[in-house]
Amino acid sequence: MTVAFELSSFTSADGDLAYLDTGSGDLVVLLHPGYVDHRAFEDQISALAAHHRVIAPDVRGHGSSANASRPFRWADDLAALLRHLDAGPAVLVGVSMGGVIATDTVLEHPELVRAVVTCGAATGDFMYTDPWTKEIQAEYARTLAAGDIEGWLRAFLRVVPGEHRTADDVDQDILRRLREMALNTIGKHTPDEKDRMVRVTDSWSRLPTIDVPVLALNGTLEPAEMLDAAERLVRSVPHGRSATIDGVGHYLNMEKPAAFNEILLDFLRTL
């Protein structure tokens, strides 16, 4: 059953950005994957808010947040929100696109970040320039341009080359939630819309400057290229570590929320 959380709105330099703000204590920011919104963390918000302040934004162009009408960077949007709330430093927890936002933000606004947890992601350099990720993104784009939500879901269920889970192998409520969020976000955009997002560059070379704890948490069914990039990330920072959850892929926090929450809470207790 979907839990409804009340959203607030922050007037940015380019439209209103929606976010959830609940709980009290040390700050944790939850950064969702692409095409969906803050509801991807439905199973984490309540568990975390028992002892932490939790902020879960809808990233620009997603969910209830405005689309971009001018160039922007994800990291700058998040920094503006945290400064508006006089909040931070925060533990940033990001899945997929959200993981890239987390690493971008700690590189560009280190004073706002206390620690990073990245899942199904590594750095912007990996996301934007690696041939494997560019091929995967092209597949996502083809399916979405054709209005093929089921194809998009199948792409995200990919495990390793030549081996795929089927929709029958995944909880149907998770698929329903993903469809609902994706259709809402896709409906905000047009096929000819200009991409105004500005990439953070040279992230691999700058990783040694990240002087906060970094945890790479991934499902064991992620492709080898993704797992290798995550290991490169934690080897490149001074305080990196990795952990895995068996039998899940890209949406590990949705597929095995109890295991995800346990590892995340254990990490937070070490800070």
Tokens for 113, please give them. 């970040």
State the pLDDT at residue 146. 65
The domain ranges of the chain are 8-269
- Which whole number is the average pLDDT over 240-249? 94
- Amino acid 226 reads M
Average pLDDT across the chain, whole number: 89
Which CATH superfamily includes the segment(s) 8-269? Alpha/Beta hydrolase fold, catalytic domain (3.40.50.1820)
pLDDT in tens, 136-182: 667 666 666 666 666 666 666 553 444 566 667 778 898 889 889 98
What are the helix (H) ranges across 197-236? 203-206, 224-236
pLDDT in tens, 46-76: 999 999 999 999 999 999 999 999 999 999 9
Distance between first and last Cα of the chain:
33
State the pLDDT at residue 122. 92
Cis peptide before 257 (omega within 30 of 0): no
Tokens for 171, please give them. 């909880």
The residue written with tokens 């950064």 in the block is 31
Percent of the chain with pLDDT over 70: 85
Q: How many Å apart are CA 219 and CA 222, to the nearest integer?
A: 6
Q: Which DSSP category does 100 fall into?
A: H
Alpha-carbon dihedral sign for residues 53, 59, 64, 65: positive
Between 74-84 and 97-108, two packed helices, what is the crossing angle to 10 degrees? 70
For residue 116, pLDDT over 70 is answered with yes
Listing DSSP states for 104-169 in one string gives HHHHH-GGGEEEEEEES---HHHHHH-HHHHHHHHHHHHHHHTT-HHHHHHHHTEEETTEE--GGG
CA angle in degrees (0–180, nearest 5) for 254-251-53: 55
